[in-house]
Chain A
Amino acid sequence: MMMDRLNHWQKIGLYIATFFFLLYILMPFIEMFRVSLRPMSHLMTADFTWWSDDFSWQAYRDMWKTVPLLGRYIVNSIFIASAVTALTMVAVVPAAYAYARLDFPFRSLSLGGFLAVNMFTGAVLLIPLYRVLRSLGMLNTYWAMIIPGVAFLIPTGIWLLRSYLEKIPRELEEAAYVDGASRMYTLRRVVIPLAVPGLIVVATSVFIGAYAQQFLFAITFNNVRELQPLPAGLFEFIGYQDTTWNEMMAAALTGVLPVMLFFLFLQKYLVAGLTAGAVKE
């Protein structure tokens, strides 16, 4: 379109600015990759060098020995985030439907209550959470990392899915009622199938939330190595004099690769899910 037309200099300027913006965003990844390719002895040499001629994939082989449970950590991370997502959706779907369609006392008040949960993070409530999890016998189990995560993701999930459900035409549900279907049947067989795209969007954003925040609960509520998610597992090796940084970087990059590739395929949903709430208002 005419008004969007840019001249050469404007285009070049935009590319340069975009380059620097993306450089800031991607620099840690580039640097982690660079470090992962360099032998430890050369990383530690006196002078900083950007390039070196001894790049090798050795760290990607050695890391499995240095971090024996690496495979376990990667799987744990994905498992915990998936379990959090599944449980969150079980709570979110019916609640979002109630807020989208039904009228009941304390409707807005309770929705406001849910949204107020966003003000807290687990960090503020750690002490009693610790005691709750202990009395439920969940400390040092996967549950200790799953259950708290679910609670903090429910409110946003309800908010996102509710706005999606409100867009589904009501007539379809009414038709089901006229045919004698119960409320529960209508929800299961009419609303949920229609809401699949919205469910994917919300589940994706819940998964990202669960996957991103896998540190605090893990280091506080769990000290069984075999159960740790990737960040907590690797943290144990970081910051010592003899930290083999090249292997840690290799391990970190390898660890996040499966989920990142998965999201590349889902990126359309990803952005939609993230922004659904914002654009609506």
Chain B
Amino acid sequence: MADTAEPLGAAAMLSGRKPMPESWFAWMLIAPALVFIGFIVAWPLVETIRLSFTNATLGGEDYVGVENYAKLFADPKFYQTVGRTFYWMVLAVSLKLVVGLIGATLLNAAIPGKALFRILVMPPWVIPVAIGVIGWKWMYNGYFGLISGLLQEFGLVDGRVALLATKTSAFYSAIATDVWVGTPMVTLFLLAAMQGVSRDLYEAAWVDGAGRWYRFRRITIPQIMPVIVSMALLSAIWTFNSFEIIWILTEGGPRGATTTLIIDTYKVAISAQRFGEGAARAVVIVVLLAVFSLAYLFVLNKVNRHYGAK
């Protein structure tokens, strides 16, 4: 990429003026973006790390060393929360990918009406997440919610089921909603990737007598694998960090059953205003996500090399 700039410099030379050095100009152009990131992401990140070594509250703060971390790592509940968060992430992301892949395959099929179907998949994605979740909260309602109602209608349960009131059902209900929020985007990404696969590959395979399933497995999947893999990472990060879905549905309850790291951090830092302890949790999240992303990118690299060669 370094060579791309050459012609412009040469052209400027031709015009006989002394231009501003290219690197100055470049940094000038990047400056607004840098200022935003600096103030809103970089500095707060540094500040979070500093705060995690203090006992900051609204009143004031003192340096306490690693006390917040020691307390956190000694708490068995914390490990449960970490485990739950990863379980939440892995399950929700896998489901998003599977449902999204099925959806993209359906929307990619040559059937009349597919243009309309592609539009109909979009609504959850173009509304505020919280609005869709409010709709789900109603559907999960035990007294008059749709799901409880339908389950009774079909005789699957006796009496009402308040899905958000028991630990297990609340967790899986939150997953179903999270998958719902994330699926349209995954679907549209995978659909775009499928449409980018060269027709020639399919035709060649078809001429050789390969069936639909074989073509899907041996052409479509490998060809869109890089998109699947990068989609998985993005979804994983978003799902890990997902706040409003759980907050609106259950606020982390019942009895902590849906408390992920983000919810726990919010409760400690914002609701209880124990800034120091909250910051320590935030740092743990950042470290876990960084390690996870790096490990993942390492795998991605291998996958790309494996599939990208052709």
CB-CB contacts of B118-153 with A at 8 A, as 1s and 0s? 111111111111111011111100011010111011
Which residue on chain A has the smallest CB distance to residue B189? A278
Q: Is the CB of A25 within 8 A of B123?
A: yes
From A25, A97, A125, give the contact of B44 (CB < 8 A): A125
A95 sits at the interface (CB 8 A) = yes
Q: Is the CB of B26 within 8 A of A102?
A: yes
Q: Is the CB of A14 within 8 A of B109?
A: yes
User: B98 CB to closest chain A CB, in angstroms?
Assistant: 12
Q: Is the CB of B230 within 8 A of A31?
A: no
Residues of B within 8 A of A48 (CB): 144, 146, 148-150, 152-153
A90 sits at the interface (CB 8 A) = yes
Known: A25-B121, A150-B36, A260-B126. A128 touches B144 (CB 8 A): no
Q: Is the CB of A267 within 8 A of B122?
A: yes
Known: A148-B40, A170-B7, A180-B17. A124 touches B106 (CB 8 A): no
Which residue on chain B has the smallest CB distance to residue A204? B126
- A253–B193 Cα distance when bound, in Å, is 32
A83 sits at the interface (CB 8 A) = no
How many residues on A have C-beta within 8 angstroms of the other chain's C-beta atoms?
Answer: 112
- A95–B183 Cα distance when bound, in Å, is 31
From B6, B40, B185, give the contact of A132 (CB < 8 A): B40
Q: Is the CB of B227 within 8 A of A278?
A: yes
From B14, B135, B136, B153, give the contact of A178 (CB < 8 A): B14
Q: Is the CB of B22 within 8 A of A25?
A: no
Which residue, of B6, B11, B230, B290, has the highest number of chain A Cβ atoms within 10 A? B11
A75 sits at the interface (CB 8 A) = no
- The interface residues of chain B, by DSSP majority, are classed as helix
**Which of A55-63, A194-202, A226-234 interfaces with chain B?**
A226-234
Which residue on chain A has the smallest CB distance to residue B245? A215
Q: Is the CB of A124 within 8 A of B48?
A: yes
User: B83 CB to closest chain A CB, in angstroms?
Assistant: 19
Q: Is the CB of B40 within 8 A of A263?
A: no
Q: Is the CB of B37 within 8 A of A151?
A: yes
Residues of B within 8 A of A125 (CB): 40-41, 44-45, 48, 282
Known: A215-B130, A278-B230. A131 touches B47 (CB 8 A): yes
A109 sits at the interface (CB 8 A) = no
CB-CB contacts of A241-281 with B at 8 A, as 1s and 0s? 00001001100100110011001100100110011001101
- A179–B238 Cα distance when bound, in Å, is 48
- A27–B121 Cα distance when bound, in Å, is 11
Q: Is the CB of B134 within 8 A of A103?
A: no
- A106–B266 Cα distance when bound, in Å, is 35
Which residue on chain A has the smallest CB distance to residue B7? A174
Closest A-B pairs by Cβ, 9 of them:
A48-B149, A231-B130, A151-B40, A275-B192, A94-B29, A103-B5, A28-B135, A128-B44, A128-B47
Binding site for A on B (CB under 8 A): 1-8, 11-12, 14-15, 17, 19-20, 22-23, 25-30, 32-33, 36-37, 39-41, 43-45, 47-48, 51, 56, 99, 102-103, 106-107, 109-111, 117-132, 134-139, 143-144, 146, 148-150, 152-153, 180, 183-185, 188-189, 191-193, 196, 202-203, 206, 226-227, 230-231, 234, 237-238, 241, 243-244, 247-248, 262, 265-266, 269-270, 275, 278-279, 282, 285-286, 289-290, 293
